[in-house]
Amino acid sequence: MKQIVECVPNFSEGRDPEKIAAIAGAARAVAGVKVIDLTSDADHNRSVLTMVGDSEAIGRGALAVMEAAIARIDLTTHSGQHPRIGAVDVIPFIPIRNATAADCVAIARSVGEEAARRFGVPIYLYEDAATLEERRNLSNIRKGEFEGLGEKMQAPAWKPDFGPDRPHPTAGATVSVARMPLIAYNINLGTADFSVADTIARSIRHLGVGFRYCKAMGVELKDRGIVQVSINMTNFRKTPLHRVFECVKSEAARYGVNVVGSEIVGLTPAEALYQAAEFYLRIENFSPSLVLETKLMEVD
């Protein structure tokens, strides 16, 4: 079965349609790369491109996007609401099919090394690809933004993983990362009492006392007169949806509150749903190769 890695470059241009099209076009021109989404935000002055391919193709696609963006974006004259340190601000690699987190760390490193060499842009690695603990957290890296980067990089702690010890004059620096697909998953509770959602969110999130790969907060859904535990699952393989769901259900029951439903925002990998089916149906022999569509993709 074909390997699929996703790459989601965030670049600092969200207003000029020609520049955005040229940067996306650079990705589309790479053999073996498919662009599946492109979203631009004028207020943020930032675009998010989603492309897929095998690890070889996606590496070439990432470099093509960086080359096109660095040539067209000048951060010395850039403004926008979203914090950024680079023309290509963040470039995450995500394993989708037949690829592991380790594969994506390797891609992030080799693309970072090559981009530093070719474009003279300093590269920081973060999360699973990070080489220093202080750099695991993106907001630490991005603190001070492009404007503060020259001064920040004079400290030895901010020597980049690859490339020069000072920012690229117009393109700043790029943060390269390997991460799991994010699942935005909300669980709705049959009560208008915000404190129930808030208390449960605190119990299940990593920032607190909960699951390692779970971010959560309480939200009021005023139009429905109920509350919600709004969740980001940052690694569904290690902290699966069904475990978080069952935990929320049991915590809510302690207040006499029912789970009235849940919702997936955006996309989920099929595997996260297979995990739930496998768990609840107690399937002993589950493997993705039991799924007809997997077989169909093999012959595609």
Q: Which positions lie near a second copy, rule CB under 8 A?
A: 4, 34, 36, 52, 96-97, 181, 188, 241-242, 245, 259-264, 266-270, 273-274, 276-278, 280-286, 290-293, 295-300
Which of 36, 13, 15 is closest to 23 using CA atoms?
A: 13
Cβ of residue 291: shortest distance to a second copy, in angstroms?
Answer: 5
Q: How far is the CB of 102 from a second copy (least distance, A)?
A: 20
Q: Following DSSP, what letter does each residue of 2-61 receive, concatenated?
A: --EEEE--EES--S-HHHHHHHHHHHHTSTT-EEEEEEEETTTTEEEEEEEE-HHHHHHH
- Name the residue nearer to a second copy (CB basis): 133 or 284: 284
Angstrom CA distances, 68 to 11, 116, 124, 223, 286, stand at: 10, 15, 20, 45, 44
Q: Judged by CB, which is closer to a second copy: 97, or 135? A: 97
Q: Which is nearer to a second copy, 89 or 278 (CB)?
A: 278
Closest CA to 168 of 22, 69, 65, 42: 69
Integer-rounded Cα Rg, in Å, for the chain is: 21
Contact, 274 vs 291, CB < 8 A? yes
CB of 283 to a second copy, least distance (A): 5
Residue found under tokens 């096109």: 68
Sign of CA dihedral 103, 105, 111, 113: negative
Task: Choose between 45 and 188: whose C-beta lies nearer to a second copy.
Answer: 188
Residues with a catalytic annotation lie at: 82
- In whole angstroms, the minimum distance from the beta carbon of 98 to a second copy comes to 12
